[in-house]
Amino acid sequence: MRILIIANPVVGIDKEKRSVIEKIVSRVKKSGGTAEVTYTFRPGLGEKYSSISPFEGYNAVYAAGGDGTINDVASGLVGTDIPMGIIPLGTGNGLACGLNIPLEPERFTEVLLKHKTMKMDVGRISSHYFFSTTGIGYDARIAFDFNKSSTFKRSLLGYFWVGIKDYFFSRSEKITLYADGKQLSRKIFTLTVANTPQYGCGAVIAPNADPSSGKMIAVIVPKLSVFRIFPAIKKLFSGSIHEISQLEFIEFKNLRIKRSKPGIYHADGEAHKGNPNLNISIHPSALNVIVP
């Protein structure tokens, strides 16, 4: 077994995270395989390295870092048989949590070594793949501000404060959705499309999302009052967000979003500039991923 580990540079700098990688390399060698480590010093390198891995004789690719790194690496493996292993060392770890991959190093190392795989669906919005969630509105605004901010560290606390600020400064917008041909007009504060149940950090936005179903779930969220937002946050983290009557859940295979003007969207927490019209499609069973 020959493994390529593609890691975020922070993993190499952080002593504790680097130690996790070193232990995985050691465990792979003890099991009779080999493991090589490379780093993504700019966006897109993860996709480049993973896409050529089949031609370089690798049997699997492990992505080490947060959801941005996981997305980058996974994008190069879509449509191939090379399995991707997840080393969740980020802030949210949305895809890992959505696939029930443990976050403790010893436990996720065992998952990697057992090498049990499944074929999961992959979403595409505009020119970007996503594996957990995508969306517009409030969620995308948080992703944009959090990723560009030099004031807040990339931590749960920083994410929390950005979320509070953006809640008061973000406005609702009118959009038109075409879900499998059915037209819907809505006023949304945020629209999240979920392939897996979680945003990450235990926040379950679509409890019924299943990455092997061939369908995804669009969650339409209006702007809730200050008095309703805190109970809603509690339900978000308890897995009961679907009990809030103001939210709407739409299952689909193809979705088109029509907005009045260009705006931001995110793919697995990475923000991008988008056109007024955004197309979301599903590639069924397009990624081979290592799971518990």
The rounded distance, in Å, linking the Cα atoms of 124 and 268 is 11
Share of the chain above pLDDT 90, in %: 81
- Is 128-283 assigned to CATH 1.10.287.130? no
User: What radius of gyration do the chain's Cα atoms show?
Assistant: 19
Q: What are phi and psi of 174, to 5 degrees?
A: -90, 130
Position with higher pLDDT, 147 vs 171: 171
Say yes or no to pLDDT of 151 above 50. no
Which pLDDT does position 229 carry in this prediction?
A: 87
Per-residue pLDDT, averaged over 75-97, amounts to 95
Per-residue pLDDT, averaged over 239-251, amounts to 95
Q: Confirm whether pTM is higher than 0.85.
A: yes
Q: Are 155 and 138 in contact (CB under 8 A)?
A: no
| Residue 148 pLDDT class (50, 70, 90 cuts) | confident
- Is 2-115 assigned to CATH 3.40.50.2300? no
Under DSSP, is residue 285 helix (H, G, I), strand (E, B) or coil? strand
Which strand ranges, in their side-by-side order, compose the sheet holding 133-137?
248-252, 216-221, 190-194, 133-137, 263-267, 270-274
Q: Domain spans of the chain?
A: 2-115, 128-283
